[in-house]
């Protein structure tokens, strides 16, 4: 017998620089072709911090260190795929080279106000930059 359905856990990572923040152009649905923060689903047995570091490396080629928690985003409508709760972190680059990988079609450092952001990522960026 299956247990109750619960929200899925995700991470999003804000990596600021003088030019803006690291963003990935989504290679798949939802929001295919739109810009988003690096991130993704937490795997079973993984901490949210480890997931943030892993997803960032997978999508951007960058090694990061978590600086601080930005917030938890739990609006059931934030993701068209279903109720996905995201733990967002501010991080700094400690190595690697910026290169699109995994499910990212493109990766760039952009002014987040200059592009449309997928999901609720504009709010997450705003919360990170206070």
CATH 3.90.79.10 fits 8-128, yes or no: yes
* 87-104 mean pLDDT: 92
Report, as residue numbers or ranges, the catalytic residues.
Answer: 106
pTM (two decimals)? 0.94
In which band, very low, low, confident or very high, does the pLDDT at 1 lie, cut at 50, 70 and 90? low
User: What is residue 8's predicted lDDT score, i.e. its pLDDT?
Assistant: 97
- What pLDDT was estimated at residue 101? 78
pLDDT of residue 104: 81
Predicted confidence (pLDDT) per residue in 49-74, tens digit:
999 999 999 999 999 999 999 999 99
DSSP class per residue in the chain: ------PEEEEEEE-EETTEEEEEEE-SSSSTTSEE-SEEEPPTT--HHHHHHHHHHHHHSEEEEEEEEEEEE--TTS-TTS-EEEEEEEEEEEEE-----TTEEEEEEE-GGGS-BSTTHHHHHHHHT-
Domain ranges of the chain: 8-128
């Amino acid at each position: 017998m299956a247990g109750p359905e619960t929200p899925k856990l995700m991470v999003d990572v804000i990596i600021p620089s003088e030019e803006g923040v690291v963003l990935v152009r989504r290679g798949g649905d939802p929001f295919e072709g739109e810009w988003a923060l690096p991130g993704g689903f937490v795997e079973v047995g993984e901490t949210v911090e480890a997931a943030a570091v892993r997803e960032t490396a997978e999508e951007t080629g960058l090694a990061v260190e978590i600086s601080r928690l930005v917030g938890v985003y739990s609006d059931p409508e934030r993701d068209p795929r279903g109720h996905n709760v995201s733990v967002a972190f501010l991080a700094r680059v400690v190595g690697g080279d910026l290169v699109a990988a995994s499910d990212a079609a493109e990766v760039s450092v952009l002014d987040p106000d200059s592009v449309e952001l997928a999901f609720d990522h504009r709010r997450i960026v705003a919360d990170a930059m206070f």
